[in-house]
Amino acid sequence: MSVGGSNLDAMELKLSSEFASRIEYLPVTGSTNSDLLSFAVNNPELWTDFSVLLTENQNSGRGRLDRQWVSEPGAGLAVSVLLKPTSFGMSSFGWLPLLAGLAMKNAVSSLVEGTPVSLKWPNDVLVAGEKISGLLAEVLPSGDGVVIGAGLNLRQSKEQLPIENATSLALHGVTNFELDDVLVRYLASFKRLYEELSDAKGDAEVSGLRQAVQDASSTIGSNVKVLLPDGTDFSGKGVGLDATGRLLVAMSDPLEIRAVAAGDIQHLRQ
């Protein structure tokens, strides 16, 4: 089957293909992010803005902070989206992974009814406080685009999940679905949010993205511990996002606001 000029190995993605300039399904791969980065560099005329690469069998995936990101074949979705915006540049790229996280949160919310779904900064999606999705963004070597990879737990049992505080769609009663039914919800929301940000020339305040991410975030208003890449940590309360998407944490001693650009966030008991 050919959709958007790509071989999908007979995978039916008719709904999702409406939102992608090119979409390709791989039966197995090491990393959709690594593959899409390579395709975008080597064949830029074929892999244009909002090209999509996906698999249900990723065996060498990477998450944030170089964590391993692997699931059993068919148990999870790995999907990467290439963004090459023309109306804004790298100064606004920090909002793109938050935008993708919001899109995944919207997709999961539409599938899991009656259960709270939220964002943990920067872009983990939580269902009833447990992680169901995480994202990783990587800038093209040319600096004119970003590949955003997302992993979504689909069919895992509790025992199959890599961490204790994780969940899947199946664990919330979502079982009878085609991959296209899930993917289209993510891509449709992603495309809408991306177009709104593009129309606003990358201004997250004007597009409404900043407020939407804050409203969806369970980190905002929570007591948190921030683990920084250099091994240090501090605690405070998440109070908002700055103009570039950094997490603002209010310290109690001394009273100050710290902006976090990168780090691991732990939600503390209230």
Percent of the chain beyond pLDDT 90? Answer: 84
For the chain, list the strands marked E by DSSP.
Answer: 2-3, 6-7, 22-26, 51-55, 61-62, 68-69, 76-83, 117-120, 124-127, 130-139, 146-153, 223-227, 233-241, 247-252, 255-260, 264-267
Give me the pLDDT at residue 254, please.
72
Residue 195 has pLDDT above 70, yes or no: yes
Give me the pLDDT at residue 163, please.
87
DSSP H helices, the chain, are 14-17, 32-42, 95-111, 179-199, 204-207, 209-216
Confidence of residue 8 (pLDDT cuts 50, 70, 90): very low
Query: What angle is formed at CA 131 by the lines to CA 59 and CA 76, rounded to 5 degrees?
Result: 35
| DSSP annotation of 215 | H
pLDDT digit string (tens) for 67-77? 555 557 789 99
Average pLDDT, the chain: 91
Give me the pLDDT at residue 6, please.
43
Residue 56 has pLDDT above 90, yes or no: yes
pLDDT digit string (tens) for 210-257? 999 999 999 999 999 999 999 999 999 999 999 999 999 999 777 899
Q: Is the dihedral of CA 55, 56, 60, 65 positive or negative?
A: positive
Residue 23 has pLDDT above 60, yes or no: yes
pLDDT digit string (tens) for 70-119? 557 789 999 999 999 999 999 999 999 999 999 999 999 999 988 999 99
Confidence of residue 205 (pLDDT cuts 50, 70, 90): very high
pLDDT digit string (tens) for 142-153? 999 999 999 999
Q: Give SS3 for 144.
A: coil
